């Protein structure tokens, strides 16, 4: 928690028995909002206020404001929500970076395995403490080949949009459908 958030929480006023609950509720609402969770998850937790206390209620035609209507609560909530969003972004960024690090570290081994599958139809599998070579099915070989080609170069990638130039004696015509031909004959009209 930042000093700024701590100060904003300390600026919240209320009855001594409710002050801690009010501050805890602000932090839990901020966390839920930042995470995109429904606020119903807040009301069911110990230490938080009820939905009616937060939003306020109307009795006998008279509206009683809720805690969220208090300016100090709104200020603390905004600061806490922004900090919670920042933390979630940092945490997700770290998790993504760790994942990318693992992928980069495994890439050379994976590339060799894919090349072995594509060229020899075998793959190495660990069985306990030993490595065993196993034959792979034709469909797995095709997937391995496509996987290698997808990563080899943009021109060999199956998902990369292809673009073919057809030179004719009177000029150039560009065909840009998935197969590089517009109507099967290589000539666009």
Q: What pLDDT, on a 0 to 100 scale, did the predictor assign at position 28?
A: 95
Q: What is the DSSP string of 75-122?
A: HHHHHHHHHHHHHHHHHHHHHHHHHHHHHHHHHHHHHHHHHHHHHHSE
Q: What pLDDT, on a 0 to 100 scale, did the predictor assign at position 62?
A: 92
10-residue mean pLDDT series, the chain (189 residues): 92 89 95 92 89 93 94 96 91 84 78 81 86 84 72 62 49 46 44
User: Which pTM was predicted?
Assistant: 0.53
Q: What pLDDT, on a 0 to 100 scale, did the predictor assign at position 13?
A: 92
Q: What pLDDT, on a 0 to 100 scale, did the predictor assign at position 163?
A: 53
**Which among 31, 13, 34 is positioned nearest to 22, based on CA atoms?**
13
């Amino acid at each position: 928690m930042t000093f700024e958030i701590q100060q904003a929480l300390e600026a919240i006023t209320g009855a001594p028995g409710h002050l801690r609950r009010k501050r805890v509720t602000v932090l839990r609402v901020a966390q839920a909002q930042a995470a995109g969770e429904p606020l119903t998850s807040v009301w069911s937790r110990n230490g938080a206020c009820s939905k009616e206390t937060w939003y306020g209620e109307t009795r006998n035609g008279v509206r009683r404001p809720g805690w969220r209507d208090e300016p100090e609560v709104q200020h603390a909530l905004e600061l806490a929500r922004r900090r919670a969003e920042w933390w979630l972004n940092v945490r997700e960024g770290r998790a993504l970076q760790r994942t990318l690090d693992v992928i980069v570290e495994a890439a050379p081994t994976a590339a060799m395995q894919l090349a072995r599958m594509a060229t020899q139809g075998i793959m190495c599998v660990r069985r306990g403490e030993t490595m065993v070579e196993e034959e792979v099915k034709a469909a797995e070989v095709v997937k391995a080949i496509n996987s290698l080609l997808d990563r080899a170069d943009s021109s060999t990638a199956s998902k990369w949009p292809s673009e073919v130039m057809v030179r004719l004696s009177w000029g150039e015509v560009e065909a840009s459908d998935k197969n590089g031909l517009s109507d099967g004959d290589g000539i666009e009209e």
